[in-house]
Amino acid sequence: MRALGALLVRDVRLAARAGGSAVLALAFFAAVVTLVPFGIGSDAKLLARVAGGVLWVAAVLANLLALDRLFQADYEDGSLDLLALSPLSFEGITVAKMTAHWLTTGLPLTILSPVLALLLNLPATAYTALIVSLLIGTPAVSAIGSVAAALTLSIRRGGLLFPLLVLPLLTPVVIFGAGAVLARLDGVENGAIWLLAAFSVAAVLLAPFVGAAALRLNLSE
């Protein structure tokens, strides 16, 4: 546990320091969402309708920014060898990495989302659904993204392959996440939040094992 904590703290620190990925992801998220009204006009009703979907798509894309280098940086500078030789298992390495990623990306994005929802004229009734869906859904993004990052770590320019690999897998998260917000707007109960929760739990529980297998595969090359 101590070793896992050490890696977690180091990764959070690296992401939070100057030049780290945390601020970058937040700025990207804000920039994309701000751009949307310029693209589709200032029709308040229309914006309110698409707000949930826009925020979810922007959140997923902002998450990807920091994800593709999650293992690659450690692979290139030799840190991954030192992690592999430490008492920490590959499963533990994956857990520490995806948790650090969520703490520095998914969580801050969730906290920032109400402010941006204001820009998109999201009705007050849907705020809870937005925040809860992001809180539940972003761990799945970090988990699935970590697996893809572990798979592509040795590929040069893996950054180009990465979104192609990971975006199809994240489609359910966007459907259920944005669906939960829309359901709240329409005042109906469609169960999207429960499906999102189930998907997220499955992703978070499986990711450490799949990620560890990918790391073993890549290190043995």
Partner 1 sequence: MGARLRTVHYLEVADLACVRGGRAVFRDLSFRLARGDALIVGGPNGSGKTSLLRLLAGLLPPAAGTISISAEGTQIADREERAKFIGWLGHYDGAKPQLTPREALRFFARLYGTASDPSLLEVVGLSRSADLPCQYLSAGQKRRLALARLKLCGRPLWLLDEPLASLDASGKALLLNLLRDHLAGGGIAVIATHDPLDLDAARLPLT
**Binding region for partner 1 (CB under 8 A):** 2-3, 5-7, 9-10, 13-14, 17-20, 74, 76-79, 81-89, 219-220
Residue 209 and residue 158 in contact, taking contact as beta carbons nearer than 8 Å = no
Dist CA 193 CA 109 (whole Å): 18
For the bound state, the minimum distance from the C-beta of residue 212 to partner 1, rounded and expressed in Å, comes to: 11
Residue 155 and residue 161 in contact, taking contact as beta carbons nearer than 8 Å = yes
- CA-nearest of 175, 183, 185, 177 to 45 is 185
For the bound state, the minimum distance from the C-beta of residue 219 to partner 1, rounded and expressed in Å, comes to: 6
User: Quick one: 45 or 156, whose CB is closer to partner 1?
Assistant: 156
- CA-nearest of 81, 59, 80 to 70 is 80
Residue found under tokens 């499986």:
206
The gap from C-alpha 202 to its chain's centroid, in whole angstroms, comes to: 15
For the bound state, the minimum distance from the C-beta of residue 8 to partner 1, rounded and expressed in Å, comes to: 10
User: Quick one: 72 or 110, whose CB is closer to partner 1?
Assistant: 72
User: Quick one: 17 or 40, whose CB is closer to partner 1?
Assistant: 17
User: Quick one: 160 or 216, whose CB is closer to partner 1?
Assistant: 216
For the bound state, the minimum distance from the C-beta of residue 18 to partner 1, rounded and expressed in Å, comes to: 7
